[in-house]
Homo-oligomer: A and B are copies of this chain.
Amino acid sequence: MNGSGAQNPAAIRVDIALVHYPVVNKNGERIGAAITNLDLHDIARAARTFGVSTLYVVTPFQDQQALYREILEHWLKGYGARYNTKRRQALSLVHLCHDLAELYALAEAKWQQRPLVLATCARPQDGIFSYELVRERIGRGGSILLLFGTAWGLAPEVMEKADGVLPPISGPGEYNHLSVRSAAAIVLDRLLGGRER
């Protein structure tokens, strides 16, 4: 069942970044969020499933970087790597960045061109790129960097500097408070998932 109807795996040039700073809290104030173990696991597993190249984890905080290294060490080299090789395959996609400037520099160096940077947000925004448009662009080999915010989402200055934004994920009603783990899974499925529905 796998593979058919999805994007061509060899041509996919999609990275995602999980941003912990700058993001906002529920009052809209700029904060730095803590790294959440299950964010790394869930989003890395979805990234590996959908053919994403790198999952960048962006945090400038040294204690959070130490936590990040501890988690990755366990699953890439420690007991976790032997216990669950599938988890190792997923977490091997993860790469730490100190800030957005480093993220953009790394992404540009990797693809030898500046990727199209698309933010995600639970609220409607200007500069929408439809999922179908981005899916086609991925199919033509375009390089894409998707930004996901932790806490209550990406800070306004991150949104403004992106090239565009993906439409918010909506259901039948007004409630749309998905976890970043769920939102990332759905976005990747919409852009890269198999089409036998």
Contact = CB atoms under 8 A, between A and B. Distances in A.
Interface of A: 1-3, 5-9, 12, 26, 38, 41-42, 45-46, 48-51, 84, 86-87, 89-90, 124, 130-132, 167-179, 181-186, 188-190, 192-194, 196-197
A178 B45 contact: yes
A181 B42 contact: yes
Contact of A189 (B3, B124, B132, B189): B189
Q: Is the interface of A mostly helix, strand, loop or mixed?
A: loop
Given A130-B196, A130-B197, A132-B197, A2 B174 contact: yes
Given A170-B1, A189-B189, A89 B197 contact: no
B9 A168 contact: no
Contact of A170 (B3, B48, B132, B183): B3
Contacts of A86: 175, 177
Contact of A131 (B7, B87, B197): B197
Contacts of A6: 170-172
B177 A49 contact: yes
A171 B186 contact: no
A153 B134 CA distance: 32
